[in-house]
Chains A and B, each alone.
Chain A
Amino acid sequence: QKEVEQDPGPLSVPEGAIVSLNCTYSNSAFQYFMWYRQYSRKGPELLMYTYSSGNKEDGRFTAQVDKSSKYISLFIRDSQPSDSATYLCAMSTLGNQFYFGTGTSLTVIP
């Protein structure tokens, strides 16, 4: 079993929709969680960084961590064509070495 599981998609939504991206994990010691956005042929860029459980909001993006279910989510409100990318989740026990999901490919259709 992989440390981190992420549905690869692809996910296709109309512009303005709410997008939900999810990851599950098996290691209950994970306490640092990240979401990255990666455009084609580019390096990933950090979107959200959270510690332990709870919600964190930044503009149109909300990250949610449910440690009891070993489940994390990224919500994108009012999705835009510029949000079309691959989204990677990552998690760590001590905040240094992170384990990555395989990424979910998202397309937002104008």
Chain B
Amino acid sequence: DGGITQSPKYLFRKEGQNVTLSCEQNLNHDAMYWYRQDPGQGLRLIYYSQIVNDFQKGDIAEGYSVSREKKESFPLTVTSAQKNPTAFYLCASSIEGRGYTFGSGTRLTVV
């Protein structure tokens, strides 16, 4: 079955540590997205990529970085510069006219 796989499901980060969240899709979608979800704030766009080797900052990109070396993969790194990283992170992909398909999310907690 086609879909988006996010891993890990739960992730714990120590202060000052960089962590990478994985997102892989086999839907052959060109566009991929990373959102952050916090209670009461809805989904906020971190980064998006509409084609391999190209990506753009979203509304809250500070403290995050991404790469898009393959069409299927769009990993997100949460750097130590992100001061409040505890949140639910959602990866999505899309093809024009069809809306988003989301992964099952990664819950990141700072310990």
Contacts A41-B105, A43-B105, A96-B31 given; does A34 touch B100 at CB 8 Å: yes
Q: Is B43 an interface residue (CB 8 A)?
A: yes
Residues of A within 8 A of B103 (CB): 43
Residue from the set A51, A96, A102 with the largest chain B CB neighbour count within 10 Å: A96
Among B14-22, B60-68, B73-81, B90-98, the one that faces the other chain is: B90-98
Residues of B within 8 A of A97 (CB): 33, 45, 48
How far apart are B91's CB and chain A's nearest CB, in angstroms? 8
How far apart are B109's CB and chain A's nearest CB, in angstroms? 13
Residues of A within 8 A of B94 (CB): 96
Q: Is B84 an interface residue (CB 8 A)?
A: no
Q: Is B2 an interface residue (CB 8 A)?
A: no
- A-B pair number, CB within 8 angstroms: 53
Inter-chain CA distance A42–B99, complex, in Å, is: 18
If over half of B's interface residues share one DSSP class (helix, strand or loop), that class is named, otherwise mixed; here it is: strand
How far apart are A46's CB and chain B's nearest CB, in angstroms? 5
Contacts A49-B99, A95-B96, A96-B50 given; does A42 touch B104 at CB 8 Å: yes
Contacts A41-B107, A96-B31 given; does A46 touch B100 at CB 8 Å: yes
| 10 examples of A-B residue contacts, CB within 8 angstroms | A6-B42, A32-B97, A43-B102, A44-B90, A45-B102, A46-B100, A49-B99, A51-B97, A95-B96, A97-B33
Residues of chain B at the chain A interface (Cβ within 8 Å): 4, 6, 31, 33, 35, 40-43, 45, 48, 50, 88, 90, 94, 96-105, 107
10 smallest beta-carbon distances between A and B, as pairs: A102-B42, A43-B102, A100-B43, A43-B104, A49-B99, A34-B99, A95-B96, A44-B102, A43-B105, A95-B97
